């Protein structure tokens, strides 16, 4: 992991390369480095870090920071295999305009990260973050016509009541569901 | 073919049309391939449904075929999505462990290790050396067991049906060991935050030594049986290779990457839980085809046996879980004498441990690749977000590049060699 | 001179028969064969040497009658063809019952059929998500009558560890005959569940335990039943 000063150097290099406002925050916590950047500049930031050696995108995952705004976050875990270095890049977007540039496709500004394909679809499915430029943004884990984004913090956890014999009648009013006992007509 | 075909179809349904009669050039052009110009043939999109004996679990594949040659593969997943990450937000930290264990259901100790490691990093609690060695023993036994199940079911797919019984015979021995140490065969919730839940019982070491003594010869037998099988060799050698560069850009890690020549293994590169105390090699392949993936995993079984033997020989004395009473339950005999122990016990069981706020990503090397656990804590006793970066989920994206241009039978063999576990893919 | 043969145990699910009495069929056919001792066993038709009452007795002893239902149920219960339907962790333990330690082939159930048209037992092993439920129902509908379903594990029986938005208990969309609890159930537990189903198919659902333990009068009576 880059240490705290290394992290500041990386942040400074990013600001020099991409503009002063691109890095909104840096955090060095438990020996791990995190850089928070603007959502629509993520491609450029990752390309810059790729040039610095962080060529492996290990994970793209979403976080819901409810009730803090901006509410939705997307984390990109980068790994430098030659120096065994990890860095996390974070973006935060509000839930009323949850748009992030997609890092999946190869575009005019450079090669993309094909590994982010399914992972960005999962973040879209679970949190509702829309990735602009993703080749095939649709639900991946939930049924395609599902409404709602389940892993948001205000989405109810759901569940079914467990059926015992005392509430079996209310749960299945049409009759007993057990196959053999309805067929053979066996005793209670 | 969808049985409920509405007159106005959604974009999704239109893309899933079963048979398309467009001329081959148009379709091949759309797929980026300007192969033959035989316009009397058509492409067939076949649905390898979620219920299929050869897909390892409920994986659905939309395969576009030209004759027997695969032109495109689209995996559709989500058929065993269990909402594990959402459920984990609802439970206190130690209750999350059994929930998260059931994700990648063949490597349950690894799921628990990743989560416990992340929480231990947040808590900044030290895991005692004995607990680390016990964790390594169970992790490597689980790796052997996962590879055995993979070997049995893959050989079953390829037609070498007897391997299934042999591999499950060894698996039963490993499950007996797990039952000895924790009482359960699968999903043992043996790893806890700060160590392991219980020390190993008397007799465990002898039984384990007996197992380790005979395991290498068994792996020899399995390797020789399959290496001497001409059909298995023909189906695996030279089929569906993929180079390390493409694999890295797809995020693939684990035996798939090592088979392609890149010796990346988190146990050596970024050791956790005392892996740097042990001597073992990393098997690396050359061609990156199905045979190398098979050979890598079989060789890994030998190395895991070595690691367990070293861990067992060097097992230090000491506590099996951290002494920090705010994190680990006090031993029961203290409850009779110490008031604080009673209070700690009560707090831990009812509310759970409180973890300082923060976010951490903890990666480990599971039998399928880099398994990472991201935990965000907001200071309460329940995690605010748990995300498992599952290796199978990311490795599945490599299926399409691997099988483009190969036969269906090679697709089946490649799926087997990919070792996808749908529980981890869908979570 | 008749050999003293001790009668075997009671029917216990085997089709019993009337004419020769309630002893085991094997015992009675051995007795019947005794009747031939007087005749010429090497000839082409040994029973031709018996006449009259002896012949009738011989026929009675070698014939078994039963109801057609019972005979068919006995055949069906001893040859389930399970469908290969592994969903999640329980599937690994289901594979364990096919393996050598808890060998399901002892009972005749090793012929796992991939096609639901050829299978008659659906062992739902694992959690059923909302995306998978219609597919499970479709597979179950494709199976031909008579068909049975075992819900293996806590997740499909009653939501299990994960009582959340993503899962459906199997009872909600298909009739289940036997629920096997466990997470995952040991292979021995699943085998117990399969054998219980076998008993149920042989038309003896509670296996006579109410008689054995003198528990008549303890049946659960639901209000409005």
**pLDDT 10s digits, B67-86:** 888 888 999 999 999 999 99
Sort out which chain C residues have CB atoms less than 8 A from A181's CB and list them. Answer: 177, 205
Please tell me which of C69-83, C124-138, C192-206 the model is most confident about, judged by mean pLDDT.
Answer: C124-138
Instruction: Assess: ipTM above 0.85.
Output: yes
Residues forming a β-bridge with C121? C82, C148
Spatial separation of the C-alpha atoms in residues B41 and B19, rounded to whole Å: 12
Mean pLDDT within C36-45: 56
Task: Choose between B310 and B324: higher pLDDT.
Answer: B310
Please name the member of B252, B387, B397 whose beta carbon is closest to the beta carbon of A61: B387
**Sheet strands side by side (includes B44-48):** B44-48, B60-66, B69-76
Residue B96: its H or E element: helix B93-101
Report the chain A residue with the minimal C-alpha distance to residue B120: A30
Looking at residue A181, its pLDDT comes to 39
B265 reaches A (C-beta below 8 A): no
Is residue B47 less than 8 Å (CB to CB) from chain C? no
Burial of B13 (0-12, 13-18, 19+ CB in 10 A): middle
For every residue of B169-195, DSSP letters joined together read HHHHHHHHHHHHHHS-SSS---EETTE
- C interface toward B at CB cutoff 8 Å? 84-89, 91-93, 95-96, 98-101, 114, 116, 126-127, 129, 131-132, 135, 139, 155, 161-167, 183-184, 186
Q: What is the mean pLDDT of each run of 10 residues along chain A (188 residues)?
A: 78 82 85 88 89 91 88 92 90 89 86 91 92 89 90 87 78 53 36
Q: Is A153's Cβ below 8 Å from some Cβ in C?
A: no
Nearest C-alpha neighbor of B262 from the set B242, B278, B277, B235: B242
pLDDT exceeds 60 at position B37: no
Q: Which of C69, C141, C146, C166 to mutate to test the interface with A (most CBs of A within 10 A)?
A: C166
DSSP class per residue in C140-158: HHHSPSS-EEEEESHHHHH
Q: Could you tell me the pLDDT band of residue C59, with boundaries at 50, 70 and 90? A: confident
Residues of C in contact with B86 (CB under 8 A): 164-166
- Residue C47 pLDDT class (50, 70, 90 cuts): low
Highest-pLDDT range among B65-69, B207-211, C57-61:
B207-211
**In the prediction, which pLDDT does C199 show?**
83
CB contact under 8 A, B98 and C127: no
| Yes or no, beta carbons of B385 and A64 under 8 Å apart | yes
Alpha-carbon gap: C204 to the closest alpha carbon of chain B (Å): 32
- pTM: predicted TM-score of the whole model, two decimal places: 0.84
With CB atoms and an 8 Å threshold, state whether A57 touches B427.
Answer: no
B95 touches A at CB < 8 Å = no
Q: Verify whether the Cβ–Cβ distance A61 to B374 is below 8 Å.
A: yes
Cross-chain residue pair C88–B171, CB shorter than 8 Å: no
> Is residue B17 very low, low, confident or very high in pLDDT (cuts 50, 70, 90)?
low
Which chains lie within 8 Å of chain C at 3 or more CB pairs, if any? Answer: A, B
Q: Which residues contact A170 (CB under 8 A, 6 or more apart)?
A: none
Taking only residues 143 to 182 of chain A, the set having a beta carbon closer than 8 angstroms to any beta carbon of chain B reads: 143-145, 150-151, 153, 155, 157-158
Q: What is the spatial distance between Cα C77 and Cα C108, in angstroms, rounded to a whole number?
A: 9
Yes or no, beta carbons of B359 and A144 under 8 Å apart = no
Which chain C residues are within 8 Å of B169, Cβ to Cβ?
99-101
- Residue B110: predicted pLDDT: 95
Q: Which two three-digit tokens encode residue B30? A: 């759309």
Chain B residue nearest residue C155, CA to CA: B82
In the predicted model, what is the mean pLDDT of residues B241-257?
92
Strands B69-76, B60-66: pairing kind: antiparallel
Is A159 near chain C, with CB under 8 Å? yes
A167 in reach of chain C (CB within 8 A): no
State mean pLDDT over B307-315: 94
- C-alpha closest to that of C123 among C88, C86, C95: C86
Provide the pLDDT for residue C44: 59
From the list C88, C129, C132, which residue is nearest B105 (CB)?
C88
Query: Which of the two residues, A100 and C24, has the higher pLDDT score?
Result: A100
Task: Say yes or no to pLDDT of C196 above 80.
Answer: yes
pLDDT, tens digit, for every residue of C93-136?
A: 998 998 889 888 888 888 888 889 999 899 999 899 999 999 99
Residue C49 has pLDDT above 70, yes or no: no
CB contact under 8 A, A119 and B393: yes
Question: Looking at residue C21, what is its pLDDT?
Answer: 54
Q: At what angle do helices C68-77 and C187-201 cross, to 10 degrees?
A: 170
Q: Is the pLDDT of residue C2 over 80?
A: no
C-alpha dihedral sign at A163, B83, A129, A112: negative
State the DSSP H helix or E strand holding residue B72, giving kind and residue range, or none if neither.
Answer: strand B69-76
Contact by Cβ (8 Å): A112, B397? no
CB contact, 8 Å: B276 with chain A?
no
Q: Is A130 on the interface with C (CB under 8 A)?
A: no
Compute the distance between CA of residue B423 and CA of residue C28 in angstroms, rounded to an integer.
56
DSSP letter string, B219-252: HHHHHHHHHT-HHHHHHHTTSS---HHHHHHTT-
- Could you tell me if A155 lies within 8 Å of chain C, comparing CB atoms? yes
Q: Does A105 touch chain B (CB under 8 A)?
A: no
Yes or no, beta carbons of C168 and A160 under 8 Å apart? yes
**Nearest residue to A35 (alpha-carbon basis) of A100, A92, A103, A90:** A90
In this prediction, residue B248 carries a pLDDT of 92
């Amino acid at each position: 992991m880059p240490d705290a000063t290394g992290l500041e150097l990386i942040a400074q290099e990013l600001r020099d390369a991409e503009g002063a406002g691109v890095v909104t925050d840096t955090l060095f916590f438990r020996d791990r480095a995190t850089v928070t950047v603007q959502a629509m500049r993520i491609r450029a930031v990752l390309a810059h870090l790729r040039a610095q050696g962080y060529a492996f995108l290990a994970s793209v995952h979403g976080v819901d920071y409810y009730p803090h705004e901006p509410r939705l976050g997307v984390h990109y875990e980068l790994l430098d295999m030659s120096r065994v270095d990890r860095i996390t890049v974070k973006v935060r977007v509000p839930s009323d305009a949850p748009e992030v540039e997609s890092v999946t496709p190869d575009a005019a500004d450079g090669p993309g990260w094909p590994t982010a394909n399914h992972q960005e679809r999962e973040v879209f499915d679970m949190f509702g973050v829309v990735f602009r430029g993703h080749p095939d943004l649709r639900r991946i884990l939930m049924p395609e016509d599902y409404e709602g984004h389940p892993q948001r913090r205000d989405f109810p956890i759901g569940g079914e009541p467990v059926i015992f014999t005392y509430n079996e009648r209310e749960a299945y009013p049409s009759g007993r569901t057990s196959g053999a006992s309805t067929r053979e007509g066996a005793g209670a | 073919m969808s049985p409920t075909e509405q007159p106005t179809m959604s974009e999704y349904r239109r893309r899933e049309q079963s048979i398309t009669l467009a001329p081959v050039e148009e379709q091949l052009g759309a797929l980026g391939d300007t192969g033959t110009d035989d316009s009397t043939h058509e492409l067939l999109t076949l649905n390898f449904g979620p219920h299929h004996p050869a897909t390892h679990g409920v994986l659905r594949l939309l395969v576009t075929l030209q004759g027997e040659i695969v032109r495109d593969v689209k995996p559709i997943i989500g058929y065993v999505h269990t909402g594990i990450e959402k459920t984990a937000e609802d439970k206190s930290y130690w209750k999350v462990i059994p929930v998260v264990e059931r994700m990648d259901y063949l490597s349950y100790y690894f799921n628990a290790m990743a989560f416990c490691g992340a929480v231990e990093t947040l808590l900044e609690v030290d895991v005692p050396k004995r607990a680390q060695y016990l964790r390594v023993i169970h992790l490597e036994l689980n790796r052997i067991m996962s590879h055995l199940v993979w070997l049995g079911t893959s050989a079953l797919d390829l037609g070498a049906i007897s391997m299934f019984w042999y591999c499950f015979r060894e698996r039963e021995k490993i499950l007996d060991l797990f039952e000895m140490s924790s009482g359960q065969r699968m999903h043992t919730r043996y790893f806890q935050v700060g160590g392991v839940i219980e020390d190993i019982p008397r007799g465990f070491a002898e039984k384990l030594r007996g197992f380790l003594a005979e395991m290498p010869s068994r792996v020899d037998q399995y390797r020789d049986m399959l290496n001497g099988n001409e059909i298995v060799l023909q189906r695996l050698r030279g089929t569906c290779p993929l180079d390390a560069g493409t694999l890295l850009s797809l995020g693939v890690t684990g035996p798939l990457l090592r088979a392609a020549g890149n010796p990346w293994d988190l146990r050596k590169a970024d050791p956790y839980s005392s892996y740097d105390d042990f001597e073992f090699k990393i098997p690396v392949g050359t061609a990156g085809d199905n045979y190398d993936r098979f050979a890598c995993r079989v060789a890994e079984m030998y190395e895991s046996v070595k690691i367990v033997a070293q861990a067992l020989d060097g097992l230090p004395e000491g506590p099996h879980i951290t002494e920090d009473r705010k994190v680990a339950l006090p031993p029961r005999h203290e409850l009779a004498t110490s008031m604080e122990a009673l209070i700690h016990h009560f707090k831990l069981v009812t509310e759970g441990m409180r973890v300082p706020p923060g976010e951490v990503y903890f990666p480990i090397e599971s039998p399928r690749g880099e398994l990472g656990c991201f935990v965000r804590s907001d200071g309460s006793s329940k995690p605010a977000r748990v995300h498992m970066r599952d290796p199978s989920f990311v490795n599945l994206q490599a299926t399409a590049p691997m099988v483009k241009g190969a036969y269906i039978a090679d697709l089946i063999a490649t799926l087997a060699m990919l070792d996808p576990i749908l529980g981890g893919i869908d979570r | 001179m008749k050999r003293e043969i001790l009668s075997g145990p009671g029917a216990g699910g085997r089709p019993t028969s009337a004419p020769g009495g309630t002893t085991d069929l094997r015992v009675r056919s051995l007795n019947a064969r005794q009747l031939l001792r007087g005749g010429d066993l090497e000839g082409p038709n040994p029973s031709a040497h018996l006449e009259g009452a002896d012949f009738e007795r011989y026929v009675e002893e070698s014939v078994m009658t039963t109801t057609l239902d019972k005979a068919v149920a006995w055949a069906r219960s001893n040859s389930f063809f399970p469908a290969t339907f592994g969903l999640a962790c329980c599937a690994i333990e289901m594979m364990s019952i096919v393996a050598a330690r808890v060998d399901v082939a002892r009972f005749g159930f090793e012929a796992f059929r991939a096609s639901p048209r050829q299978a008659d037992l659906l062992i739902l092993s694992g959690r059923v998500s909302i995306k998978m439920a219609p597919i499970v129902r479709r597979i179950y509908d494709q199976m031909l009558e008579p068909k049975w379903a075992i819900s293996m594990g806590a997740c499909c029986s009653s939501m299990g560890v994960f009582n959340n938005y993503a899962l459906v208990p199997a009872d909600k969309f298909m009739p289940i005959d036997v629920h096997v609890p466990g997470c995952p159930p040991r292979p021995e537990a699943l085998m117990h569940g399969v054998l219980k189903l076998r008993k149920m198919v042989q038309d003896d659902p509670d296996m006579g335990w109410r008689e054995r333990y003198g528990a008549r009068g303890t049946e659960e009576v639901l209000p409005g039943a």
